[in-house]
Amino acid sequence: MNLNFSPEEISFQEEVRDFLKQELTQDLVNAAKHTSAVFTEKEVAMKWQKKLANKGWLVPSWPEEYGGTNWTQTQRYIFSSECAKAGAPNLIPMGLAMIGPLLLGKGTKEQKDYYIPRIISGEDYWCQGYSEPGAGSDLASLQCKAERVGDEYVINGTKIWTTHAHLANKIFCLVRTDNSGKNQEGITFLMLDMNQPGVKVEPILTMAKDHDFNQVVFTDAVAKVSDRIGEENQGWSVAKYLLEFERSGGIGGSKSLSDLDFIRRLIKKISSTHKDSSFADTYNTKVAELEIKALSIQYTSLRILSSLTKGDSPGPESSMMKTLVTDLEQEISELTLEVIGYYGIPFQDTSLGSNKPAIGDEDYRSIAGKYQNLRATTIYGGSNEIQRNIMAKAVLGL
């Protein structure tokens, strides 16, 4: 097997590097590094999204008529690893990695033609209304109710943990339209406006003091029937299709490899003040162990991506990737915290635009906050325990 890039791929890599040198400005890299939140601040993410959209590189895997690049797997791998290496901000997934792919796979032509360009331009900023108080892992027990009145649905109920609902102008939601059958039956998938009188957003702060998510209360909120994806009462299969995209993420491992490089630089800096080499030896060994995991995840995700180009949806492999990537992210954040020792203890201000000096080195600023916030990754998108249940059933046949 030839693992070297071809001359065309090397020239593509140079093109990507040139683009990043020009467009990925230091303020964007610093803002991405500064934040401890799981999701990049909207302002930062959208600035980066606009630059990628202008270049035509925002949604490489989408069909060309809807903004895709028709890149090969290797090109996509090169692009994503160069972005990770250069410290590019993460993009917000609710539009680009959830409702976008869902519309492409299950939306009507009218829905695609209307919504896809608005996702790419950032005109629509989406949030996801799946979870409810009492319906998280057991999502099918959701109770938020929608009643059909003419050309509209009227919605009443509560959604919770809704990331960026306070910033979004659109929400995609699972609602109950029938109570008579099994829980999975009678669920409908709707898209609606956040900016309407029947929608109230109440903030929930994280333990690192970030405002990422919210409770959303619907009181006679309305959605157009034409904004339903799939048939009425058939929303469960639509919801699962979207979750497969949410869980599979992009090319897993690239971001982890660049996070491990960051730990290596920290170790080098800190060990220059140590008299013996045991500090560097111990932690470099731990970094190497995690690097092996990151590389194996990267190869696995490339294999999965290659099957997606044949038009498949990610399937239960997405549960495997979600579990592997998020467990590794947590291990890396734990190791980073361990490396900086007691500099991980004080609260550091990571809010956008803050000019409070960091305690210790500037590189330490977001480490403890990231460690705390990354606890969430094994919970959101369906907890890792639930993913293991799915793998046991769908992959192992247990």
Q: Does 385 bind ligand FAD (CB under 6 A)?
A: yes
Q: Does 379 bind ligand FAD (CB under 6 A)?
A: yes
**Nearest distance, CB of residue 395 and ligand FAD, angstroms:** 16
Q: Does 369 bind ligand FAD (CB under 6 A)?
A: no
**Nearest distance, CB of residue 127 and ligand FAD, angstroms:** 6
Q: What angle do CA 369, 375, 381 make, to 5 degrees?
A: 125
Separation CA 17–CA 81 (nearest Å): 11
For residue 209, count CB atoms less than 10 angstroms from its CB and return exposed for 0-12, middle for 13-18, buried for 19 or more: middle
3-state secondary structure 192-254: EECCCCCEEEEEECCCCCCCCEEEEEEEEEEEEHHHEECCCCEHHHHHHHHHHHHHHCCCCCH
Three-state SS for 380? coil
**Nearest distance, CB of residue 366 and ligand FAD, angstroms:** 16
Q: Does 140 bind ligand FAD (CB under 6 A)?
A: no
Contact stretch for ligand FAD (CB under 6 A) within 17-25, 80-88, 159-167, 289-297: 159-167
Q: Which of residues 25-44 bind ligand FAD (CB under 6 A)?
A: 38
**Which residue in 90, 233, 383, 391 binds ligand FAD (CB under 6 A)?**
383
Q: Which of residues 100-139 bind ligand FAD (CB under 6 A)?
A: 127-131, 136-137
For residue 258, count CB atoms less than 10 angstroms from its CB and return exposed for 0-12, middle for 13-18, buried for 19 or more: middle
**Which residue in 271, 335, 380, 390 binds ligand FAD (CB under 6 A)?**
380
Give the x-and-dash track for 204-243 against ligand FAD (CB under 6 A). Answer: ---------x------------------------------
Residue 65 appears among annotated catalytic residues: no
Separation CA 110–CA 132 (nearest Å): 30
Cβ contacts of residue 275 below 8 Å, gap of 6+? none
Q: Does 366 bind ligand FAD (CB under 6 A)?
A: no
**Nearest distance, CB of residue 171 and ligand FAD, angstroms:** 9
Token pair 């590019």 in the structure block, residue: 88
Three-state SS for 169? coil
Contact stretch for ligand FAD (CB under 6 A) within 63-71, 258-266, 287-295, 379-387: 379-387
Closer residue to ligand FAD, CB minimum distance, 194 or 270: 194
Cβ atoms 186, 238 nearer than 8 A: no
Cβ atoms 247, 320 nearer than 8 A: no
Q: Catalytic one among 41, 246, 291, 329?
A: 246
**Nearest distance, CB of residue 164 and ligand FAD, angstroms:** 7
Q: Which of 133, 43, 40, 123 is nearest to 89 (CA)?
A: 40
Closer residue to ligand FAD, CB minimum distance, 149 or 394: 394
**Which residue in 263, 304, 382, 390 binds ligand FAD (CB under 6 A)?**
382
Three-state SS for 148? strand
**Nearest distance, CB of residue 117 and ligand FAD, angstroms:** 23
Give the up-direction half-sphere exposure of residue 80: CA atoms within 13 A in the CB hemisphere. Answer: 24
Closer residue to ligand FAD, CB minimum distance, 92 or 308: 92
- The identity of residue 311, as a single letter, is G
CB atoms within 10 A of CB 196: 12
Closer residue to ligand FAD, CB minimum distance, 90 or 389: 389
Q: Does 162 bind ligand FAD (CB under 6 A)?
A: yes
Closer residue to ligand FAD, CB minimum distance, 61 or 373: 373
Two structure tokens written together for 397 = 């046949």
Q: Does 391 bind ligand FAD (CB under 6 A)?
A: no
Closer residue to ligand FAD, CB minimum distance, 274 or 393: 393
Separation CA 208–CA 349 (nearest Å): 9
* Residues at the site binding ligand FAD, with contacts judged by CB under 6 A: 38, 127-131, 136-137, 161-163, 213, 376, 379-380, 382-383, 385-386, 389
Q: Which residues are catalytic?
A: 246
